[in-house]
Amino acid sequence: MVSELSAFYILLKRDLTLAYRHRSELANPLLFFIIVISLFPLGISPESKHLQTIAPGVIWVAALLAALLSLDNLFRADFEDGTLEQTALSAHSLPLLVFAKVLAHWLVTGLPLIILAPFLGILLFLPQHATPTLVATLTLGTPILSLIGAIGVALTVGLRRGGVLLSLLVLPLYIPVLIFAAGAVNKAATGFEVAGELYLLAALLCLSLTLAPFATAAALRISLS
């Protein structure tokens, strides 16, 4: 019998290995992120002063949608081959195992987004001095997106057409993150202090870290029953 912590590491390692074996799939949400952002200059105007004002919002909305798009893979494959059921049946606490899966998912989808974001900021003429804030909000915000999204995926994993439903369930819950994060980047771009927004994002992260795995585990048990 392995301890809780090593079960956590084993599952994390397994999920990361699986993600590495399907490398090409990982690029898709990132490509989506880049393409959505490059559509805005085409649709609105290539002028820097227009793009500059919408850049924080556009980057954050695109990040939200990219996170949503990648969520479907979180439990789907495991659900279809029965691994998820075995995970739920194991003697270890399900919230902890869920947390391992969400962490692995964030490492392969959220982290690349953070690395890409400064370059996309350049594409949209986001002022240089706002880039650290952009990265900070994404670092605090994308784990929240994964954690809250996991609840939605857990609720819809048993359904055949869960994709559209998932966005209906999850997007309203993402709104506070969007407001604080895009607000912080906007403020930073105009040269204001952003500590308040970052603290609020950090508080949201703490809240979702502590509560979301339990809600996800409860939802998974319902979907598996």
Partner 1 sequence: MWAFLQKHSSPKYFYNLSGYLIPWFGWICLAFMLEGLFFSLFASPPDYQQGESVRIMYVHVPAAWMSLFIYMVMAIAAGIGLIWRIKLAEVIAASSAPIGASFTFLALATGSLWGKPMWGTWWVWDARLTSELILLFLYLGIIALNSAIEDKRTASRASAVLALVGIVNIPIIHYSVEWWNTLHQGSSVTQMITEFKAPTIDISMLIPLLLMAVAFKLFYALVVLMRARGEILERERNTRWVQELVSHQPVK
Which residues here bind partner 1, judged by CB under 8 A? 148, 151, 155-156, 158-159, 161-162, 165, 168-169, 171-173, 175-176, 179-180, 183, 200, 204, 207, 211, 215, 218-219, 222-223, 225
Report, in Å, the least distance between residue 141 CB and partner 1: 13
* Region label for 19, one of left (φ > 0), alpha (ψ between -120 and 50) or beta (otherwise): alpha
Question: Which of 18, 218 has the CB closer to partner 1?
Answer: 218
Report, in Å, the least distance between residue 211 CB and partner 1: 7
Report d(CA 23, CA 27) in Å as an integer.
Answer: 7
* Region label for 191, one of left (φ > 0), alpha (ψ between -120 and 50) or beta (otherwise): left
Report, in Å, the least distance between residue 144 CB and partner 1: 11
Question: Which of 35, 222 has the CB closer to partner 1?
Answer: 222
Q: How many helices (H) and strands (E) does the chain have?
A: 9, 0
Question: Which of 45, 210 has the CB closer to partner 1?
Answer: 210
Report, in Å, the least distance between residue 200 CB and partner 1: 8
Report d(CA 212, CA 27) in Å as an integer.
Answer: 26
Question: Which of 46, 196 has the CB closer to partner 1?
Answer: 196
The answer to whether the beta carbons of residues 14 and 8 sit under 8 Å apart is no
Report, in Å, the least distance between residue 165 CB and partner 1: 6
